[in-house]
Structure 1
């Protein structure tokens, strides 16, 4: 499931607001979250980081000439082909 960065709904990860923010800020907070908890992390299909165990990652959503953070959630064995 993909949560669009401009239309939401708002989703958070232990207090980290994931949707509609500057992508680099969300990336940094998610990476810090992962490192603080000694979790594994991956860079997924379209370049977004995410905790390996939670099956989610941060995405960039075009918003005119800028981008906003979105998120993708998926089943454990799912592969992103597009």
Structure 2
């Protein structure tokens, strides 16, 4: 009696399933993939939106992402205040 075992490795295109979100570009990388994200997105699959793109702050205010959950804070120039430096 013979016991024959075989191992079949199926190598497919890791980008075929379109794993990148938000119009990110999938690139094959060392047997896997990596996503090249468009401006305003980040994360391994471009799943994180940069709330500061485009800048929601007015009058030259500087946007800073806070808490990593979609929140932001505007750092206002002198003479301006409010959530968006109105």
TM-score band w.r.t. shorter chain = under 0.3
Higher fraction of helix? 1
* TM-score (ref. length: structure 1): 0.22
State the TM-score, normalized to the length of structure 2: 0.22
Considering only CA atoms, is the larger Rg found in Structure 1 or Structure 2? Answer: 2
Structure showing the higher strand proportion among its residues = 1
